[in-house]
Amino acid sequence: MKWIKDLYISPAMEKKKIKIKWKLNHGAGVVGVYLLVMPLDNSHLEIINSAYLKQKYYRRRKMVIIGIAESIESAYDILIKIVSETFEHTKDADIKKYLLERYPNMYYDN
């Protein structure tokens, strides 16, 4: 599991960012946290509950975490922000392409 440098974070999670990242990186459970992830196997941004990372499928899946939110609604707000930002800069809706341009080392170890 990898993280982009400048995470998209809902305001309520800003102070908890470091603690949440540590817990997720060490396999501890985090309740009530939603993640915006870009899997390496397809080009679609996904919103998942952080509890899914306790499942084998998600632990083994290669993905980059690009956002943290305290609710599904906040995750959708972040998604809207990312889509708007993508379209504003590229005049296209290809989020993966935009993120790769913004974070060229996104799929490499940080």
Q: pLDDT by residue for the chain (110 residues), tens digit each?
A: 788 888 999 999 999 999 999 999 888 878 899 999 988 777 688 999 999 988 888 888 888 999 999 999 999 999 999 999 999 998 988 888 888 888 877 665 44
Spacing of C-alpha 19 from chain mean position: 16
Q: What's the pTM value of the predicted model, to 2 decimals?
A: 0.86
The C-alpha atoms of residue 51 and residue 30 are separated, in whole angstroms, by: 7
